[in-house]
Amino acid sequence: MIFTSRMVQLFAVVLPKDCERVTEALLREGVIQFISTSDVDVQAQDLVSSPARIQASLTEISDLRKRIEGLLHTAGIIPSAPSEADLSDRGAVDTEKEKGNLARIDSERAAIRERQRVNQQEILKLDDIRRQVMLYGEGLSDIAVSAPHSFIVMQTGKIAASSEGRFEEGLRDLPSVNIPVGRERDSIHSLVIFMKRDSERAQRVLDSVGWTPIELPNELRSLKEDAFRELSAKLKTLTDEQKRLEMEADNLVKKEAERLRTVWSNLRVIELLHRIQTHFACLSRTTVFTGWVPAEKRERLTGAIRRASEGRCYLEWNEASGKDAIGDEVPVRLDNPRLLAPFQMLVSNFGVPQYGTIDPTPFVMPLYLAMFGLMFADVGQGLVLAALGVLGVSLQRMRAAQKGWYQLSWLIIWCGLSSVFFGALFGSVFGMVLFEPLWFDYHGIIAGHRAEGSVMKDVFDILAIAIYFGIFVIVTGLLFNWVNIIRTAKWTELFFDKGGVLGGWIYGGGIYIAFYLVSHDYGAFPSRGRLFLLVGLPAILLFLKEPYRHLRHGGRQSASKTNPAFAAMNAVMHWIVELLEIFSGYLSNTLSFMRVAGLGIAHVCLMISFFALAEMTSGIASILILVLGNILVIALEGLSAGIQALRLSYYEFFTKFFHGTGKLYTPISLDSEW
């Protein structure tokens, strides 16, 4: 768990007749990350099955599977990853038949969507008219003279009954409503409402059907309520129709859901099998493949391949550092418990560690939580954070596509628990000291009334905690760097790198000098002999870096082409720059941890300010200020503490030892995400 998992490389040869069963066994185990056949030493003329042809079939299957998946998603159905039972019981898929079935469903859904589109346009038209009538309608008694600010026109009149169809057809493309008022012999009386901007088009329609404006009798002049009632009824009918059409579209998929799920699962299994076979080199008599496997999975995979091929196979295992291993890039597997998944996410966001080096995940967890807790120490606010995290976990648990949010919710839970722990150490509950602190009264020190006998006397003691913590983190990073260098056998970097032994020697000497100066009230330095041993000697030894590199890599040949004076000056400049980087870099890295204390102090000061404001009022106002203050602090300070803890982890800790140049281990398995 401290280091990345040990990987071994499999080189396998099987017979073509066993290829399908072996492919199934490889997918069932799901532990091998394949190496491209282009990296395998196989003569092109020996190939009888081209990966390109398999890739073409894979593309067709993948496209069909994604179409079915997209269709299921439209009905809110998310298919789950296939299981071993799906692999064993899979059936053949007639791709042409399934394409035809999808085309039929898509055609029926398209027809429904078109009806919905037409309905929606009509709804928008009628809703616009109703809104304008409500805002600017003047009543039917004033139809002849519409108000100048009105956006609509309302007219009453009559047309011949034989022109009713043409009248409705003409008004269909206009935002308008036609309300029949009554019939008289062969005439129809109507109320027409349309937008003023469409007056010319509406008038052409009215003229084409022989519209005759009329004045309604007094008893029929207050029909505005009827117009509203008619508009509302039409809108409700259209809205209900939209809902019905939406359900009809969903039901088209839902009634086929079980069969579509089965087809999707079969296609997914076939897709994964084809994806595995794209890494096979199929020769005239044998099939060859190779890939990386975690060392602890070696025996199980060996047994699975032998059973699938009935012993007709040749398997060769090579260590990652062995001379027979194919390729230089070994995939990196981070083998951490599920408990550490949120912190592994933080590590992966920064990069993938180099193979064989330290996996910082187990160390990130305590360091990140300690930094967050020191900056955001409060029992009550921590419980609120933890509750929000629990809510997030419960909401995201069933959403496979939201895996990142799920892990983030767990991270919030951990941060909340850290706040509770440090809040108990400092005795803070929603900014109030409700019990005896287990360590010291943070609020009391910031407010200037610390308790007698407190282990911490003032703000400078709090700043000192942050400095000590920063020194511990940086020294840990340096030790990890030395371990990584030793494991990768980069001996020159072990001594001459700024994160190597000499850089660490100078940093340790600087720490000793700083503490010596502080302990002597800034009035004395260590003796000259000690100063030389602490920083002078390692600085001189660091000067040997360029001459050593020159002798090792340049030699006499480069010396004849380079001016010796220029080479010496270049070495001196490199030495000076590196010393400046070491002294300024380590100093700034250490002082950077003062932000842990700074944010902790700011958190306390904010709570003190809100309590001061609450004391200026009383009753509900006082309670409201405290509630809103706590909400603001949880939102702003919680976010700031999380970001600053992440920044310190990345730039003050990871940069000392972490080389994010690795390639993540992504085997092909039944639950692969691609």
CATH number of the structural domain spanning residue 145:
3.30.70.2750
Which residue, 333, 348, 378, sits at the end of a domain? 333
Q: Would 566 be classed as within a structural domain?
A: no
**Three-state SS at 216:** coil
Both 5 and 17 in one domain: the answer is: yes
Q: pLDDT tens across 327-359, in order?
A: 778 999 998 999 999 999 999 999 999 998 999
Both 146 and 215 in one domain: the answer is: yes
Largest CA distance in the chain: 123
Q: Would 329 be classed as within a structural domain?
A: yes
Q: Is the model's pLDDT at 61 over the cut of 70?
A: yes
The predicted structure's pLDDT at residue 639: 95
Separation CA 101–CA 356 (nearest Å): 51
Both 213 and 178 in one domain: the answer is: yes
The predicted structure's pLDDT at residue 44: 46
More confident residue, 578 or 1: 578
Q: Is the model's pLDDT at 218 over the cut of 70?
A: no
| Mean pLDDT of the region 132-150 | 46
Q: pLDDT tens across 517-557, in order?
A: 988 888 888 999 999 999 999 999 998 887 777 777 655 54
Q: Is the model's pLDDT at 560 over the cut of 50?
A: no
Q: Please enumerate, as own/partner, the contacts of 109-112 that have beta carbons within 8 Å and a separation of 24 or more.
A: 109/249, 109/252, 109/253, 112/245, 112/248, 112/249, 112/252
Q: pLDDT tens across 10-19, in order?
A: 999 999 999 9
Both 113 and 247 in one domain: the answer is: yes
The predicted structure's pLDDT at residue 227: 63
Q: What are phi and psi of 42, to 5 degrees?
A: -125, 130
Both 89 and 18 in one domain: the answer is: no
Q: How confident is the model at residue 92 (pLDDT cuts 50, 70, 90)?
A: confident
Both 57 and 68 in one domain: the answer is: yes
The predicted structure's pLDDT at residue 133: 56
| Mean pLDDT of the region 637-656 | 95
CATH number of the structural domain spanning residue 326:
3.30.70.120
Q: Would 307 be classed as within a structural domain?
A: yes
Give the lowest-confidence range in 71-85, 238-252, 544-558: 544-558
Both 145 and 213 in one domain: the answer is: yes
More confident residue, 314 or 123: 314
Both 64 and 110 in one domain: the answer is: yes
More confident residue, 168 or 1: 168
Q: Would 624 be classed as within a structural domain?
A: no
Q: Is the model's pLDDT at 222 over the cut of 70?
A: no
| Mean pLDDT of the region 365-375 | 96
442, 377 in Cβ contact below 8 A? yes
Q: Would 516 be classed as within a structural domain?
A: no
Could you list the residue range(s) of the whole structural domain that residue 299 is in?
1-36+279-333
Q: Would 16 be classed as within a structural domain?
A: yes
227, 193 in Cβ contact below 8 A? yes
Q: List b or e across 414-453, with b for residues whose CB sees 16 or more CB atoms inside 10 angstroms.
A: bbbbbbbbbbbbbbbbbbebeeebeebbbbbbbeeebeee
| Mean pLDDT of the region 50-68 | 79
The predicted structure's pLDDT at residue 550: 72
Amino acid sitting at position 325 = A
Both 22 and 85 in one domain: the answer is: no
Only one residue has tokens 């409503």, namely 177
Which residue, 221, 253, 268, sits at the end of a domain? 221
81, 670 in Cβ contact below 8 A? yes
Q: What are phi and psi of 272, to 5 degrees?
A: -65, -40
Q: How confident is the model at residue 138 (pLDDT cuts 50, 70, 90)?
A: very low
Q: Would 168 be classed as within a structural domain?
A: yes
| Mean pLDDT of the region 150-176 | 80
Q: Is the model's pLDDT at 134 over the cut of 80?
A: no
Q: Is the model's pLDDT at 442 over the cut of 60?
A: yes
Q: Is the model's pLDDT at 37 over the cut of 70?
A: no
Q: Would 249 be classed as within a structural domain?
A: yes
Both 270 and 326 in one domain: the answer is: no
Q: pLDDT tens across 497-515, in order?
A: 889 999 999 999 999 999 9
Both 291 and 272 in one domain: the answer is: no
Task: Return the CA Rg of the chain.
Answer: 38
Both 32 and 98 in one domain: the answer is: no
More confident residue, 145 or 318: 318
Other CB atoms closer than 10 Å to residue 530's CB: what's the count? 15
The predicted structure's pLDDT at residue 348: 92
Q: Give how many domains the chain has, as a whole number.
A: 3
More confident residue, 382 or 230: 382
360, 654 in Cβ contact below 8 A? yes
Provide the whole-model pTM: 0.78
Give the dihedral of Cα atoms 507, 509, 512, 518; nearest 10 deg. -80
